[in-house]
Amino acid sequence: MTSFNRDESLALLTTSKFDVVVIGAGITGAGVALDAASRGLKVALIDAGDIASGTSSKSSKMVHGGLRYLQQREFRLVYENLRERQRLLENAPFLVRPLPFLIPLFGSNGVASRTLVKGYSTALRLYDLTGGWRIGQRHRKISKAESLSHLPTLRAESLVAGFLYLDARGDDARVALALAKTAALDYRASVANYVRALDIVRDNQHRASGVVCRNELDHSTFTIQTSTIINATGVWADEIFAMAEHVPSHRISPAKGVHLSVPRTRLPADVAAVFSVPNEHRSIFIIPAEDAPVTFIGTTDTAYDGVLDDPSCTPADVKYLLDAANASTLSNLTVEDVTGLWAGLRPLLAPSEGRRVSQRTADLSRRHRVTDSLDGVVHITGGKWTTYRQMAQDTVDALSRYVPSLPKVRTKNLRLHGTSPWRPQSEIETHLYQRFGSDSAHVLALINARPELAEIAIKGQNYINAEFVYCARTEMVTSLVDLLTRRTRAHLMDARATLSSAPAIVRLVADDLKWDDEECNRQLASYRDLVIHELECAGLVL
């Protein structure tokens, strides 16, 4: 077993030669690193930002099969999604759990459209047959009363009944982190965040032989020696294409997805729900959060051509989601109800220039593609969060051209770090288990030594002081933003409340992160700037 420590990884990156360097530590890159390392390859995993700081921390927090893809006759995609969902439920049960979904049926005079009911019924039957049954429960139709018991503010005057089916949920950033930790702790991968790839070094045969990198924290440069490189940078793939002198047959077409958080008192829900968007052929999700009494609303799906590092939620995005939620409920949500928000970019694939492309992002492919530059650089683009494991398998399989006798995949039944048996005995233990798995024992040990660490850290959220200390010590945290946006999801739940508690949290972790007073103030200012920037872009006030 090696460590999950940035400084130790950096020392190895500068002195060792690797079989493969994976560029991009989102869900795909972390999955690729684990797949390759578990096959016995010597792996380095780097990212210009934090682990999962791009798209992979900004999803709907669902591990779902994609019911809507059945409408597009994407049967293979749905089958693959549902198969991989089940593997995640088994391989990371502490992070991924079943979540009921409600589809409310509205109509007039107490009757829903027969076409609508038949359409949903047929789609859900296909969902079950395609693989939805693996979760242990098939869909069922429920009454108006039962529908209202789950979402009390549904428009009762037009609500007729509902369909209930099971999917799954998962904290996207923590799943990516668990993959990276498993690769490092169990399979000796060297993982380092905030390491930017600047260029590819080539040998006399023009084969890739190294990656020139910059440490984004101290701005030093160094070269990682490697036999192969994998580009798993998502919407940033074009940057690596250019370094690799690779001309793909497709292009990345980013699509922006925005989510909001509102108090659960304003939008009560004990299950997730699918709401149709009026006058559009698409839906949004309503999702009850686990770590705070808030409800998520999302997502938008719009073409994006702005700065990739800073997709923002706009006033139009906020209005779109609130209007869609209000159309199916009596909550009458307003901008004053929004406590948190986030925007991410989907790395959708579109044909190269010259071929007709749909103007709707919903029509673009959610499939993934593996391409080989034939010089030691392999690229993985597109795909969905849920199918990261299959994407990683296909990508590492492509290394067989360069790695003689490449072992077969081992990740189908590979349990992620923290999956060891551990039975929570209390509410706080359950909360910790759903974030850290069996490593919760280490968090509880902190509390035993310092009982004050059991106190709630942020008003209105379930996070306790010990979690922040544990994350700071063991999870490659380099900034307050890392801690509040990805190691915990406090920022997404309620940005204002989190900002109010930030000074106390900084004091908790300052010693472990070696922050003096000046650095503590810098970290607080940086997080405050982030909160103000996101709120102002969305037309909200602090």
Residues 26 and 145 in one domain: no
Residue 17 domain-assigned (yes or no): yes
CATH of the domain at 517: 1.10.8.870
Residue 79 domain-assigned (yes or no): no
Residues 203 and 232 in one domain: yes
Q: Residue 358 — very low, low, confident or very high, per pLDDT cuts 50/70/90?
A: very low
Mean of the pLDDT values across residues 173-187?
98
Residues 325 and 280 in one domain: yes
Residues 102 and 218 in one domain: no
DSSP notation for 228-270: EEEE--GGGHHHHHHHHT---SEEEEEEEEEEEEEETTTS--S
What local confidence, expressed as pLDDT, does residue 364 receive?
53
Residue 208 domain-assigned (yes or no): yes
pLDDT at residue 1 greater than cutoff 90: no
Q: Residue 131 — very low, low, confident or very high, per pLDDT cuts 50/70/90?
A: confident
Model pLDDT for residues 264-297, shown as the tens digit of each residue: 999 999 999 999 999 998 999 999 999 999 999 9
Residue 259 domain-assigned (yes or no): yes
Model pLDDT for residues 413-430, shown as the tens digit of each residue: 999 999 988 888 899 999
What local confidence, expressed as pLDDT, does residue 355 receive?
46
What does the block give as tokens for 305?
């051509």
Residues 296 and 156 in one domain: yes
- Where in the sequence is the domain holding 14, given as residue range(s)? 6-56+173-246+373-401
Model pLDDT for residues 211-232, shown as the tens digit of each residue: 999 999 999 999 999 999 999 9
Residues 270 and 238 in one domain: no
Residues 154 and 223 in one domain: no
Residues 16 and 154 in one domain: no
Residues of the chain above pLDDT 70, percent? 97
CATH of the domain at 33: 3.50.50.60
With tokens 């998520």, the residue in question is 296
Q: What is the largest CA-CA distance in the chain?
A: 77
Residue 510 domain-assigned (yes or no): yes
Residue 223 domain-assigned (yes or no): yes
Q: Give the separation between CA 433 and CA 261, rounded to whole angstroms.
A: 24
More confident residue, 448 or 120: 448
Residues 45 and 157 in one domain: no
Neighbours of 271 (CB within 10 A): 18
Of the listed ranges 110-114, 330-334, 527-531, the least confidently predicted one is 110-114
Residues of the chain above pLDDT 90, percent? 84
Q: Give the separation between CA 211 and CA 535, rounded to whole angstroms.
A: 38
DSSP H or E segment with residue 387: none
pLDDT at residue 177 greater than cutoff 50: yes
Residue 47 domain-assigned (yes or no): yes
- Cα 469 from chain centroid? 23
Mean of the pLDDT values across residues 299-314?
96
Neighbours of 117 (CB within 10 A): 17
Residue 395 domain-assigned (yes or no): yes
Q: With contact defined as beta carbons under 8 Å apart, do 64 and 58 qualify?
A: no
Q: Residue 448 — very low, low, confident or very high, per pLDDT cuts 50/70/90?
A: very high
pLDDT at residue 352 greater than cutoff 80: no
Mean of per-residue pLDDT scores for the chain: 94
Model pLDDT for residues 489-524, shown as the tens digit of each residue: 999 999 999 999 999 999 999 999 999 999 999 999
pLDDT at residue 133 greater than cutoff 80: no
Model pLDDT for residues 69-91, shown as the tens digit of each residue: 777 778 888 889 999 999 999 99
CATH of the domain at 162: 3.30.9.10
Residues 474 and 434 in one domain: yes
Q: With contact defined as beta carbons under 8 Å apart, do 214 and 33 qualify?
A: no
What local confidence, expressed as pLDDT, does residue 2 receive?
64
Q: Give the separation between CA 142 and CA 526, rounded to whole angstroms.
A: 48
Task: Tally the domains of the chain.
Answer: 3
What local confidence, expressed as pLDDT, does residue 114 receive?
86
Mean of the pLDDT values across residues 169-195?
98
pLDDT at residue 189 greater than cutoff 90: yes
Residues 287 and 190 in one domain: no
Residues 190 and 164 in one domain: no
Across 266-339, where does the E strand assignment appear?
272-276, 283-288, 294-298, 302-303
| Nearest in space to 347 (alpha carbons), one of 290, 313, 389, 303 | 303
